[in-house]
Amino acid sequence: MAQLLVRFIRWRFWRPLLIALLFVVLAGLGSGIGFLVACLQDLPSLVSIEPRPSETTLVFDRHGALVAELHGVENRKPVRIEDVPRQVLDAFLAIEDARFYGHHGFDLEAIARATWAIATGGMFQGGSTITQQLAKNAFLTPSRQIKRKVQELIIAIELERQYTKDEIFEMYLNIIYFNHGAYGIQAASQVYFGKEVGELTLAEGALLAGITRWPEGYTPYRKPDSALGRRALVLNRMLSLGMISQSQYDAAINAPLELAGEKEQDYPAPYFVDYVLKYLLKHYDRDLIYKGGLRVYTSLDPAIQKAAEEGVAKILDPVFPLEPGKEQPECAAIVMDPHTGHIVAMVGGRSRTGKLELNRATQAYRQPGSAFKPIVVNTPALDLGYTTATVIDDRAFTWVQLDGTAWTPTNYDQRFRGLTIMRDAIARSANVYHTDLMLKIGPETGVSYAQRMGIESLVTKGRLNDVTPSLALGGITKGITPLELTRAYSVLANQGIKVDPIAVLRVEDKRGKILEENTPRREVVLSEQTAFLVTDLLRSAVDYGTGMRARLDRPVAGKTGTTNDDVDAWFVGYTADYVGAVWLGHDIPKSMVRVYGGMYPAIIWKHIMETAHKGLPVKQFPVPKNIVTGVNVCNKSGLLPGPLCPPANIVAEVFVRGTEPTLTCDVHKTVNVCGEHTDFLAGPGCASTLEKVVIARKVPWEPWESEYRHPDGRRELRVFIPEDSVLEAPAAVCPNHNPPLSPSGE
C-alpha cells in the first residue's frame, strides 16, 4: 500500500513537468515547421533551377535614362572548368571547401568547426561549402538573417541533386566576386594579371583564391601585404593537403607580386555618381548595392552635367594645361534647383584616377572670400533694418582684435572710395564697407544667419573660432564646400526658403519595391522681402560689378570671391531657375597670381548656365508684397536727394515699405571758393567768388601708409586716402589773393 502511495505522489509531482515539457516540444516543433514554411515561401523555383548572377545596381538620371551600372555584369566573363589549370582549381578547393567532391552540398564537420571557433572565441572560420556559396550569390538577396542561411542550405542540396560537382564548381568560379568590378575568375585574371585564366601560375591562382573571402580587404591593389599573407595561407593549406610539393610551394611563396596595373572603369558624370554611391553606402548594405539589383533614380540632368564638364575643360585647359608632373589649379562646380534642392550637375575635379576619390564639390573645405559677404553681412544687416541705401565711409581704419593685434582691412584693388552705398559696395566687393557693417551688426549675428541658411562648417567655440570681424571677408577657420555655399545661396534664390540638397530621388529593389523616396524638405529661414533685397543687390554685382563675365540673357544675381594672394577664386550665382557655384584653386593652397573670382570661375558658370537655361523662358525674380522700387536717393548720404545733390549721385533704390528715407541729404553742402582758383576757399582778397558743392563728412579720415602691390609683383610704400576726398571743401584760403601774414602779423 505504501508503495502505491509513493508511486501516486511521484506521478502527481512529475505529471505537470512532463506535460509542460511535451508542450514545449510541440510548440518548438510548430515554430520550426512555421519557420521552415516561411523559408520555402520566397525561394526561387526548384523545378528547373538555374543560378543567376548578382544583379547590377542601375543609376538613372532625372529623365529615367541609365547613367551608370555599379559593379555590373559587363565584367563577368564565363570560362569552362577544363580551361582552368588544375593547380588553380586546387587552390580554391584548399581554402574554400577541401571536401567539396565528397559532400552533398553541406559539410557538417566544417559547420561544427566554425561553430566551435565562434563559441570559444577563436578566429572566425567559414562553414559554407562552395555549393552553399553558389546558392547565396546566385539566388538570394544579400543578407545575414538565419532565414537566408536555411534557404541557402535548401538550395545547395537541390543544386547537388540536379548538377554534377564539376558543373557546380564551374558556376561558382564564374559567379564569385573579386573586387574592382571583376565577377568570375576569367575577369579577375585579366583585372589583376592581364592574362587569360589558362595562363595563371600557381602563385597567381593562390592569390585569386584568397581574395574571394574578403574582396575589399585582400585586393593586392589596395592592400598588397594582406593579399600576400592570404596567398601564403592558401599555399600552406595546399601543401598540407598534398596538392603541391615542397618545391612548388617554395617557388610560389617566393614569387613576386606582379600586377597588370589598376584600370578603373569609369562611368559618366563620375563625381555625381560617386556622390550617389557614397550616399548608398551610408544607408544600405554593401552587398545589396553591388549585387542586389537596386534601381536608383537621381536628379542628374545629363545636358547640364555635360556642359559643366566641358566648361571646366574648355576654359581651364588652355590656360592651365594638365601635364604629367606639373601641378595646376583644380576646379569644382555644382548646379542645383533652388526650389527642390535637386542637384542637377556636379564636377569634383579636372582629372580623375579612380572611383570615390576626393570630390572637391562636396569634400574640399576652402576659404570663401567675398562670396561669403551676402550670407554673413548683407542678409543679416537688411533683416535687422539696414537698407540698400545704407552709406558707410570706405576709408582706412584699424581694428584692435581680442589678442591685441591690429588689423586694417583693405579692398582687393587697394583703393578706398569714400562714402559708399550698399549696392555699390556689394557690386565692387568692398572689404572695408562690409567689415565696418559686420562690426555694426556683430560677428555673432553673421554666424547665426550663416548657420540658419545651411552653413554647417563654422567653428563657434575654442580659442580659434569664426566669431570675428574677418568673417565678413570669408576668413574662417575650417572653410566651406561649394555644395554648402550653393545651399546658402539657394535660400536667396528661393524667396527665403531653405531646401536640403537632394541627389537620390528614389531607390527601388530589384522587384520594384520602393525602399526610399526623397521629397524636398522646406524651411522658411528669411522673409521674402529680405531675400529679394539681397537678390536685387547681387544683380548689380553681375550687371556692372565684379561678376560681369557671368551675365546671361536674363536676370542673374551673383557674387565673386577671391581670397588673399589669389589662393581661392569663386563665383556663386543664380537665376529664377538654377543656383550654382564654381571654385578654382590648388589642392594644397597656394597663390594662382592674378586669378580672381570674376575671371575663370564666372566664365565657367556662364558656360554651364547657358546650357541649363536653353529653351527656358526668361523669368524675373518674383517681387514680394511690400516692396517699393524706384525710390531716388543720394548715394553719398543714403537720404532723399536735396537741391545740392549732383545728378550723378542720384540713384533709384529698393526698399521694404516703411523703411524708405524721409530726411533730405545732409552731406552735400556749399562753400565759397575763389573764382579764379576754385581749389581754395575764398578770402577777403579774392575779387570774385563762387559757390561750390562739396561733401561734408561726419567723421574725418586719416591718411594710411602701406605697401602697394604692382601687377608685376613689385611693392612700394604709398599713402592711401579716400578717393572722394577731392569733393570735400578746400582746407586752405586762396594764397594768391590772400597772402599769409608775416611773423610780425603784417
Determine the distance from the C-alpha atom of residue 285 to the mean position of all C-alpha atoms in its chain, rounded to a whole number.
22
Q: If you search the block for the grid coordinates 545728378, which residue do you land on?
A: 647
CA distance 133 to 177: 11
From 244, 182, 160, select the one nearest 53 (Cα to Cα).
Answer: 182
Helix (H) / strand (E) containing 465: none
Cell of 542: 553681375
User: Which of 350-364, 383-397, 509-523, 559-573 is least confident?
Assistant: 350-364
- pLDDT band at residue 335 using 50, 70 and 90 as cut-offs: very high
Instruction: Give 5-28 pLDDT, tens digit per residue.
Output: 445 444 444 454 444 454 444 444
The pLDDT, as a whole number, for residue 30 is 44
Tell me the H-state helices in 42-129. 86-96, 108-119
Average pLDDT, the chain: 87
Residue 118, φ and ψ in degrees, nearest 5 = -70, -45
Residues 6+ apart with CB under 8 A from 250: none
The pLDDT, as a whole number, for residue 9 is 43
The pLDDT, as a whole number, for residue 27 is 43
pLDDT at 2 over 60: no
Query: What is the mean predicted confidence (pLDDT) over 521-531?
Result: 97
Task: For residue 662, give Cα distances in angstroms to 124, 627, 633, 638, 658.
Answer: 81, 16, 10, 10, 10
Q: Please tell me the total number of residues recorded for the chain in this structure.
A: 746
Query: What is the mean predicted confidence (pLDDT) over 294-318?
Result: 97
CA distance 495 to 505: 23
Which range in 111-115, 351-355, 509-513 is most confidently predicted, on average pLDDT?
509-513
Cell of 341: 534642392
Handedness of CA 147, 150, 156, 162 (dihedral sign): negative
CA distance 676 to 735: 12
DSSP 527-566: -HHHHHHHHHHHHHHHHTSTTGGG--SS--EEEEEE-GGG
pLDDT at 35 over 60: no
Higher pLDDT, 647 or 14: 647
From 387, 391, 388, 390, select the one nearest 695 (Cα to Cα).
Answer: 391
DSSP for residue 375: I
DSSP β-ladder status, 406-407 and 689-695: unpaired
- pLDDT band at residue 175 using 50, 70 and 90 as cut-offs: confident
Which range in 150-154, 321-325, 697-701 is most confidently predicted, on average pLDDT?
697-701
Task: For 129-165, give one letter per residue: b (16+ CB within 10 A) or e.
Answer: bbbbbbbbbbbbbbbeeeebbbbbbbbbbbbbeebee
Cell of 295: 534601381
Long-range contacts of 183-191 (CB under 8 A, 24+ apart): 183/53, 183/54, 183/71, 183/73, 183/75, 183/76, 184/76, 184/77, 184/78, 184/79, 185/79, 185/84, 185/88, 186/77, 186/78, 186/79, 187/75, 187/76, 187/77, 190/77, 190/260, 191/75, 191/260, 191/263
Residue 587, φ and ψ in degrees, nearest 5 = -60, -45
CB 280 within 8 A of CB 289: yes
CA distance 162 to 100: 16
pLDDT at 458 over 80: yes
CB 367 within 8 A of CB 479: yes
Higher pLDDT, 56 or 719: 719
Task: For residue 279, give Cα distances in angstroms to 272, 333, 483, 503, 512.
Answer: 11, 19, 15, 9, 20
The pLDDT, as a whole number, for residue 332 is 97
CA distance 510 to 500: 28
The pLDDT, as a whole number, for residue 274 is 93
Q: Is 672 exposed, middle or buried (0-12, 13-18, 19+ CB in 10 A)?
A: middle
Residues 6+ apart with CB under 8 A from 326: none
Query: What is the mean predicted confidence (pLDDT) over 541-557?
Result: 97
Name the 3-class secondary structure at 583: strand
From 361, 622, 384, 608, select the one nearest 494 (Cα to Cα).
Answer: 622
Instruction: Give 253-287 pLDDT, tens digit per residue.
Output: 999 999 998 765 568 899 999 999 999 999 998 88
Q: If you search the block for the grid coordinates 576659404, which residue do you land on?
A: 367
Spatial strand order in the sheet of 66-70: 66-70, 57-60, 295-298, 504-508, 514-517
The pLDDT, as a whole number, for residue 112 is 55
User: Which of 108-117, 315-324, 628-637 is least confident?
Assistant: 108-117
The pLDDT, as a whole number, for residue 108 is 63
The pLDDT, as a whole number, for residue 38 is 45
CA distance 268 to 273: 8
Query: What is the mean predicted confidence (pLDDT) over 60-87?
Result: 82
CB 577 within 8 A of CB 591: no
pLDDT at 625 over 90: yes
DSSP 649-714: GEEEEEEETT-S--SBP-SEEEEEEESS-TTSB--TT-S-EEEEEEE--SS----EEEEEE-TTS-
pLDDT at 168 over 50: yes
pLDDT at 118 over 50: no
- Using only C-alpha atoms, the chain has a radius of gyration, in whole angstroms, of 38
Task: For residue 283, give Cα distances in angstroms to 279, 289, 519, 627.
Answer: 6, 10, 17, 45
Cell of 488: 546658402
Cell of 513: 519595391
The pLDDT, as a whole number, for residue 52 is 53
CB 390 within 8 A of CB 381: yes
Helix (H) / strand (E) containing 716: strand 715-720
- pLDDT band at residue 114 using 50, 70 and 90 as cut-offs: very low
The pLDDT, as a whole number, for residue 357 is 84
Query: What is the mean predicted confidence (pLDDT) over 591-598?
Result: 92
Cell of 14: 512529475
- pLDDT band at residue 717 using 50, 70 and 90 as cut-offs: confident
Residues 6+ apart with CB under 8 A from 17: none
The pLDDT, as a whole number, for residue 222 is 87
The catalytic site residues sit at 96, 370
The pLDDT, as a whole number, for residue 192 is 94
Handedness of CA 397, 403, 405, 410 (dihedral sign): negative
CB 393 within 8 A of CB 722: yes
Cell of 48: 528547373
CA distance 499 to 522: 5
Query: What is the mean predicted confidence (pLDDT) over 693-718?
Result: 84
Residues 6+ apart with CB under 8 A from 283: 516
The pLDDT, as a whole number, for residue 146 is 59
Residue 355, φ and ψ in degrees, nearest 5 = -70, 150
- pLDDT band at residue 117 using 50, 70 and 90 as cut-offs: very low
